Every structure is written in C-alpha cells, then in structure tokens.
C-alpha cells in the first residue's frame, strides 16, 4: 500500500511535470521531475534498464525532508521519469530518506538500502539520528522492510556518532553474499570521517567487519557517500569529504576523492597506495557507481556544489542535475574517466579540421552550439609558440565561459564569471595538468546548463554548471603567440 505521504508526492510531481517544457531542461543530463535534487542514489541496472534514484524534495527548489525521485534509461542519456520511490513515511525515516544504493536479490526483486533519519533538537541545531533501512520492489513500487532499521547505533564501532552514520553502498560478491560501505564519523568537535565495512549473507542481516579508512583530520570532516570496488586489478574507494580546507592538492568545501590500493578480503583491510581529486570543477559531489551487465564500471555524481547552490536560474522549476555518466579505469594508480560510449550514437553533423593556426580570436565555420561534443587538440608551434590558449563557449556579446590553457604553467583554468550569474560565489577553478610536451587534448561536452571537460582522454575532468541563456551559442579560439590545433565537433541530438 502506498502511504499518504508518498501518494501526495506522486500526485504533486505528476501535476507539475507537464509544466516543464523539455527544452527547459538539459538534453541528456538527468534533472529532478520537479523541485530539488541532490545525490544520485540506487544507481543500478535492473531487468535490463538503468535505474537512477535521487535525493528529492519535490515541493520546493530547496533541500527539505528527503524523498527518493526515480528515473530509468536504456542508454544513460534519455531518461524516463518514474513515480517517486520513497517518502519519509515510517518511524525509522520520519525525518527523511537519505542517500543509499540498490542491488538485485536472487528472487529478482530490487533491494534499496538507504539511510533513515529521525530529527531531534539539540540546544543549538537540529540533529538527525541516522540508521540503515531497506525497501524491496519491482522497479516501480517499493515496500519498506518491517524489520527496519537493519543497522543502528549498536552496530557501529565504539566512539562513533549516531548522528553521522549514512549513505550505504551495497554490492554482491561472486558467491552471492552482500557487502556494503557506510560513512561514519567521530563526534563533535573532532568530527573525523570513517568508512565502515559490513557484510551480510542475505542482504537483510548485517554485521560490521572493519574500518576501511579513517580521516586523521587532514581531509575535511565527515566523509559522505562512500563507494568501493575492484577495478583493473586495484581497489578503489570513493569518498566525498565535507569541509575541506584549501590546499595545493585539494579544493576547499565539499569534494570527491579517490583512494586506490589493495584490499585483503579476509581481514577487511584496505591499503591505500595513491589518492587523488576525482573532478577539478566547481560542481561535482557524491559519486555513485554501478557495474553494468557488460562489465563496465560506470560512475555518476551530483553536478553541483553545496556552497554554490545559489548559482541557479530563476526561470527553471527544477534544481540540480547529474553529471554525464562516465566509464572508469585505473591506469598507473590513477582514476581515468571517459564519457559513456553511448554518447557516440548521439553525435551528429561532424565538423573537423586539422592543422589550424590560431593567434588572434577566431571562430570556425560550423563550430557553435549548446549541446555539443567538441574535441580540441592544442600544440605549440615553435619559436612564436603561445603562452596562453583560450576557448570561449556559451558566448554572445559580453557573455561567455572560458577555458584557458597555459602550457608553461601547466594549468587549465575554467572561468564562468561572465556566464550570466547573479551570485557572488566562486566561479573559477584552475588545475595543474600533465606535461605532454606542451600539448593538450580537451574534450568539451556541453549541455544546456553545463560543461564537462575531459582532459587528455580522461586523465582529469572539470564539471561545471552554467546557467547562461541558450541564445549564447558561439564558440571561439584565441592564442597569444601561435598555436596549432585540430578540431572535431558534433552536435549532440537525441
């Protein structure tokens, strides 16, 4: 039986959905049916289709009591909205259904594991007691397990806080048994994140195994939204630390970090070998991956930054979008990200030219648009070689967003200061890029409200929201000195 709270949410979103025209959403990035979206949840393949749930508050364009919105897709580009899957409607999750994940049970049912929260008032702030809950369904309707919660404060190691125990990521081992990782944290004022590892034979009864990783205080505070998987002979732990202090290595605020190393399945000990920032853009948080039926490790994330949620367009009735899903690999201890290959089928109207010499500002015939897949290879030319190369896009008159490559500094800088924003928050991000003898390859994927840059075939990425009006669709290239470039550009059409 669908609860009153869930029925109301479904009625509300159905009535509201038709009020949003398809052209007022991104072409191929998932947005909420209506209202607010944050983290991706339950990213999975079920009965041959991809399912992506999300942290959802349908009634306003701001965070509120969390529901789970729901969409499905055959190609990770065209999304079909399904009715909201979860609402805060039982004792264990009366304050909200926080982030979680999904897996298929042996009997074919879809299992959702999520954090149920119950709000309590402390003297100074609202706190949420957090426990892990289950719901079982058929890809459309989900019934909450009567044994909820299945993990609570009695299941976490001593000394960790019951107010920060969230975001279970579930998976199955080859023998059919279940595992999950969950974010934990020491209490205030220390507030250092832990990644907790649990096991289960049936997905319903869980036991704590080990602490996979812990924050010694050098990487933010709480670590949210963990994910853990084997890839290319290594193990990858993804975490989203909060409250990171700016350093040479990491951007401040909420970021996502990958730890890559080895894992002893017997003891539950993860040994980290390397660590890196996952995305260098402003808007990227709370990753979640799935292992597809064809063996790909595919990652999505919330294309947003908690600190810059004010950078939004007044006109849209939705807030929040997911990044373009990415295929992951580990090469030489680093995470490599490529746009899902399905996007190649959406590429139309190829324009290509090679050996173009760029010095002054220049536009190239046929190279414009706001739903675009553009690859630019940039090379030095010898004596008069450039110190700075700039690509401007989403451009019209004084409005533009830019990427500036400085080969001698080995930096790439994204700048959306002139993108039409009305908010005084951070609009630039700069990252160090690898040294390839002054050359760089930039693959820029534009959708109506975002730009994602894949640097040197996925060595690094930069994901950013841009709220620029769609009339701004020009793209230009310029260099101080001379650069030689090759361009390959497609319109993206679904």
Q: Report helix, strand and coil shares of the chain as percent, to nearest 5.
A: 5, 50, 40
> How far, in Å, are 129, 333, 376, 403, 435 from residue 456 at the CA level?
44, 16, 10, 14, 10
Residue 22 phi/psi, 5° resolution?
Answer: -55, -35
Taking the least distance from each CB to ligand FRU, the nearer of 284 and 454 is 284
- Choose which of 13, 89, 93, 167 interacts with ligand FRU (CB under 6 A): 167
User: Which is closer to ligand FRU, CB of 312 or CB of 419?
Assistant: 312
Minimal distance, residue 225 CB to ligand FRU, in Å: 6
258 lies in the binding site for ligand FRU (CB under 6 A): no
Residue 269 CB coordination number (10 Å): 14
Task: Assess 66 for contact with ligand FRU (CB under 6 A).
Answer: yes
* Closest CB 411 distance from ligand FRU, rounded Å: 29
Return the active site residues: 39
Cα 348 from Cα 181, distance rounded (Å): 41
Q: Which of 114, 108, 107 is nearest to 40 (CA)?
A: 114
Task: Name the minimum Å distance from CB 113 to ligand FRU.
Answer: 12
For the bound state, the minimum distance from the C-beta of residue 150 to ligand FRU, rounded and expressed in Å, comes to 17
CA distances for 178 relative to 103, 144, 199, 204, 312, angstroms:
9, 19, 6, 9, 40
Nearest to 22 by CA among 430, 317, 410: 317
CB of 240 to ligand FRU, least distance (A): 6
Site string for ligand FRU, 209-248 (x = CB under 6 A): ---------------xx-----------------------
DSSP code string of 288-337: EEEE-TTS-EEEEEE---GGGTT---SS-SEE--BPPPEEEEEETTEEEE
Sequential DSSP letters for 428-494: EEEEE---STT-EEEEEEEETTEEEEEETTTTEEEEEE----TT--EEEEEEESBEEEEEEEEEE--
Using rule CB under 6 A, residue 99 touches ligand FRU? yes
Contact set for ligand FRU, span 113-142 (CB under 6 A):
115
**Looking at beta carbons only, is 286 or 336 nearer to ligand FRU?**
286
Is residue 368 involved in binding ligand FRU (CB under 6 A)?
Answer: no
Distance CA 470, CA 200 (A): 50
How far is 260 from 276, CA to CA, in rounded Å? 9
How many other CB atoms are found less than 10 A from the CB of residue 318? Answer: 23
* Dist CA 224 CA 127 (whole Å): 16
Query: Shortest Cβ distance from residue 242 to ligand FRU (Å)?
Result: 8
- Closer residue to ligand FRU in complex, CB, 57/171: 57
Closest to ligand FRU by CB, 77 or 286: 286
Residue with Cβ nearer ligand FRU (65 or 339): 65
Up-side HSE of residue 455: CA atoms within 13 Å toward CB? Answer: 27
> How near is the Cβ of 119 to ligand FRU at its closest, in Å?
13
Q: Which of 173, 229, 165 is nearest to 202 (CA)?
A: 173
Least CB distance to ligand FRU at residue 305 (A):
10
Helix (H, G, I), strand (E, B) or coil at 343: helix
Closest CA to 322 of 15, 43, 58, 6: 43
Q: Is 279 in the site for ligand FRU (CB under 6 A)?
A: no
Which residue lies nearer to ligand FRU by CB, 244 or 403? 244
DSSP string, 23-74: GGS-SSS---SSEEEEEEEEEEEETTEEEEEEEEETTSSS--S-EEEEEEES
When the beta carbons of 167 and 447 are compared against ligand FRU, the nearer one is 167
Under the criterion CB under 6 A, does residue 286 sit at the interface with ligand FRU? yes
Measured from the CB atom, the residue of 39 and 279 that comes closer to ligand FRU is 39
**166 belongs to the binding site for ligand FRU (CB under 6 A):** yes
Q: Which of residues 26-45 bind ligand FRU (CB under 6 A)?
A: 38-39
Angle at 286 between CA 284 and CA 291, to 5 degrees: 110
Q: How far is the CB of 485 from ligand FRU (least distance, A)?
A: 38
Residues binding ligand FRU (CB under 6 A) = 38-39, 55, 66, 98-99, 115, 166-167, 224-225, 286
């Amino acid at each position: 039986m669908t609860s009153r709270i869930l029925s109301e949410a479904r009625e509300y979103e159905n009535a509201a959905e038709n009020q949003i025209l398809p052209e007022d959403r991104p072409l191929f990035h998932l947005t909420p049916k209506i209202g607010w979206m944050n983290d991706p949840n339950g990213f999975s393949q079920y009965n041959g289709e991809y399912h992506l749930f999300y942290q959802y508050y349908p009634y306003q364009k701001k965070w509120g009591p969390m529901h789970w919105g729901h969409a499905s897709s055959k190609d990770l580009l065209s999304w079909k909205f399904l009715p909201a899957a979860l609402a805060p409607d039982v004792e264990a999750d009366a304050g909200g259904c926080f982030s979680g994940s999904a897996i298929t049970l042996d009997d074919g049912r879809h299992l959702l594991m999520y954090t149920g929260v119950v709000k309590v008032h402390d003297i100074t702030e609202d706190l949420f007691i957090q426990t892990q809950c289950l719901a079982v369904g058929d890809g459309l309707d989900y019934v909450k397990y009567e044994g909820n919660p299945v993990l609570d404060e009695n299941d976490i190691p001593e000394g960790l806080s019951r107010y920060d125990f969230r975001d279970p990521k579930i998976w199955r081992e080859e023998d059919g048994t279940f595992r999950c990782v969950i974010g934990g944290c020491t209490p205030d004022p220390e507030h250092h994140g832990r990644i907790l590892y649990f096991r289960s034979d049936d997905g319903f009864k869980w036991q704590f195994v080990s602490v996979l990783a812990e924050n010694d205080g050098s990487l933010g505070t709480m670590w949210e939204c963990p994910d853990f998987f084997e890839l290319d002979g290594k193990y990858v732990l993804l975490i989203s630390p909060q409250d990171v202090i700016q350093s040479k290595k990491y951007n401040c605020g909420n970021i996502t970090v990958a730890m890559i190393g080895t894992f002893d399945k017997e003891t539950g000990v993860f040994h980290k070998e390397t660590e890196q920032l996952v995305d260098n853009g402003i808007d990227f948080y709370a990753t979640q991956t799935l292992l597809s039926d064809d063996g790909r490790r595919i990652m999505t994330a919330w294309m947003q930054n908690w600190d810059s949620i004010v950078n939004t367009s007044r006109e849209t009735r939705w807030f929040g979008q997911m990044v373009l899903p990415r295929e992951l690999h580990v090469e030489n201890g680093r995470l490599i990200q490529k746009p899902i290959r399905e996007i190649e089928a959406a590429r139309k109207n190829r324009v290509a030219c090679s050996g173009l010499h760029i010095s002054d500002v220049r536009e190239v015939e046929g190279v414009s648009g706001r739903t675009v897949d553009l690859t630019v290879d940039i090379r030095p030319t010898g004596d008069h070689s450039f110190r700075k190369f700039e690509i401007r896009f989403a451009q019209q008159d004084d409005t533009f967003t830019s990427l500036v490559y400085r080969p001698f500094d080995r930096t790439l800088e994204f700048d959306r200061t002139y993108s039409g924003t009305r908010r005084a928050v951070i609009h630039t991000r700069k990252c160090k890029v690898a040294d390839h003898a002054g050359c760089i390859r930039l693959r820029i994927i534009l959708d109506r409200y975002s730009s994602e840059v894949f640097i040197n075939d996925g060595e690094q990425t930069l994901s950013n929201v841009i709220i620029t009006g769609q009339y701004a669709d020009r793209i230009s290239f310029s260099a101080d000195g001379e650069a030689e470039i090759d361009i390959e550009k497609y319109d993206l059409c679904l």
